[in-house]
Amino acid sequence: MINILLLITCLVTISTGHKNNDMPVGLKEEDLELERQLSILNKSPIKSIHTKSGYIVDCIDINKQPAFDHPLLKNHKLQDNVGNWWLKVGDKDLGYFPAALFPRLSTRADQVGWGGYTVTPAGTTSPAMGSGYIPDNDATHASYFKFVKYLEIVGMEFDPLPFMVASYNDAPNCYGLTNYKDTKKDFGYSLQFGGPGGNCRT
């Protein structure tokens, strides 16, 4: 048994230590073709992102994506600037609003609004808005927006300035709206809105 084990060990050592510089010509050509194909697929990344989970995500120039080298994807068109609106709350990305929903906002917005509204058929009472409470400076009662900001086209966040903000309430006998402006406290720039509803058209 020891002789067989020694023989196998010797054969493994001899085969791993053997190097052949006289590779057949056909094999060299195949290796060169394989290298050429790999260089087509291996696009150098613009940036590499290391995730908290330990993954590495390489960012490749969109026009050099290996996936687009596939024959079934050859006639696809890339949409560079579709005008969709990206929605973000705090640091959480929620998704986007398709530009088709806002055709007049294809380039920029002239105004930004916050608040609520109710819709009801004519002749019926209006429903409650939010929790049904009129604003009373208590965040556990009426609906509210806090840390209100807007984003400039270059991506910088700004608090609204008081002279830029106008309040509008078309049913003050049913709903309330209080603009607290910049509280400089727990809620930043904030406002409260809502109410019980009822017969609002009188």
Strands (E) located in the chain: 47-50, 56-59, 85-89, 92-97, 143-145, 150-151, 157-158, 176-182, 189-194
Examine the domain organization and report whether 99 and 137 are in the same domain: no
- Predicted confidence at residue 57, as pLDDT, reads 83
The pLDDT value recorded for residue 106 is: 65
Whole-Å CA distances, 108 to 35, 84, 104:
48, 11, 9
User: Do 88 and 67 share a domain, yes or no?
Assistant: no
Q: Tokens 């705090």 identify what position?
A: 90
Using CA atoms, how far apart are residues 144 and 187, in angstroms rounded to an integer? 10
Is 49 part of a structural domain of the chain?
yes
How high is the pLDDT of residue 3?
43
Are 93 and 84 a contacting pair, CB within 8 Å?
Answer: no
Does any domain span residue 10?
Answer: no
CA atoms within 13 A on the CB side of 20: 8
Q: What are phi and psi of 143, to 5 degrees?
A: -65, 155
Q: What is the mean pLDDT of each run of 10 residues along the chain (202 residues)?
A: 42 44 63 76 76 84 68 70 76 82 72 85 90 89 88 81 86 91 81 91 64
Same domain, 197 and 161: yes
Q: What is the pLDDT of residue 99?
A: 80
pLDDT at position 134: 92
User: What confidence score (pLDDT) does residue 58 get?
Assistant: 78
Q: Is 57 inside a domain boundary?
A: yes
Please report the pLDDT score of residue 174 as a whole number. Answer: 92
> Considering the domain boundaries, does residue 5 fall inside one?
no
For residue 184, give its domain range. 111-202
**Overall domain count for the chain:** 3
DSSP for residue 117: -
Cα angle vertex 189, ends 185, 194, to 5°?
A: 110
Residue-level pLDDT at 22: 54
Which pLDDT does position 102 carry in this prediction? 72
- Is residue 36 in some structural domain? no
